[in-house]
Amino acid sequence: MLVLDGADEVVESTTIRKSRFVATVAPVSSEDELSALVDRKRDPSANHTCWGAVIGSGPQRIARCSDDGEPAGTAGPPILAALTSREVVDAAIVVVRWFGGVKLGAGGLVRAYGGSATAVLDKASLREARPVTRMRLDVPVHDAGRAERLLYSLGDVHGAVYGAACVTYTVEVGAEHEGSLRDRLMSLTSGGAQVVEVARRLA
């Protein structure tokens, strides 16, 4: 599977028989982020804002699309197909159309929306998805200094909350380092650390 390499949106514009199509591909990791992206791309002067998105993988995978008023199956599905055919996940493509006065027909719409989605994806930088594990760890205060050095050496520390008895860290590590982090942290704290929560995703 592939993901977008970077957090920036990529935009590609084309004109087909007087209709203007502007395609945007961007990373999304939730349905809320997808909705926010579609809302940002809506233009009152445009006729249609069509999209396709793939979020997550495995049993939790979400693949959705919208024709937004175009004939059923002529816009959203070909946009979505551009993502699924390349196994791109955690990404959405939004294609905004300004009608130019010339009807394209069902086949022409499929080619226009599919082609716009493919073109913007061609322009984007993609990389292999890496499985990561997000962990919330409670570490006794007296072990926090040494534990913190270990956590930074193996992953990305996204936050620390200091309490009276323990420090709670939020850490992301490559899935291949999860077992090592657990073992070394337990050894360092003589079993005093606790894994509070674990979640896995592609990054």
Where are the CATH 3.30.230.30 domain residues in the chain?
2-128
- The average pLDDT across 95-119 equals 97
> Which pLDDT band holds residue 98 (cuts at 50, 70, 90)?
very high
Q: What is the pLDDT of residue 161?
A: 93
Q: What is the pLDDT of residue 201?
A: 79
Where are the CATH 3.30.70.240 domain residues in the chain?
131-202
As a CATH number, domain 131-202 is 3.30.70.240
At residue 47, what is the residue type? N
Euclidean distance between CA atoms 85 and 93, whole angstroms: 14
Instruction: Say if pTM beats, i.e. exceeds, 0.85.
Output: no
First to last CA, the chain: 10
Token reading at 8: 């920036």
The residue ranking higher by pLDDT, 5 or 52, is 52
As a CATH number, domain 2-128 is 3.30.230.30
Which residues on neighbouring strands pair with residue 70, listed in sequence order?
none
Contact between residue 169 and residue 137 where contact means Cβ atoms under 8 Å apart: yes
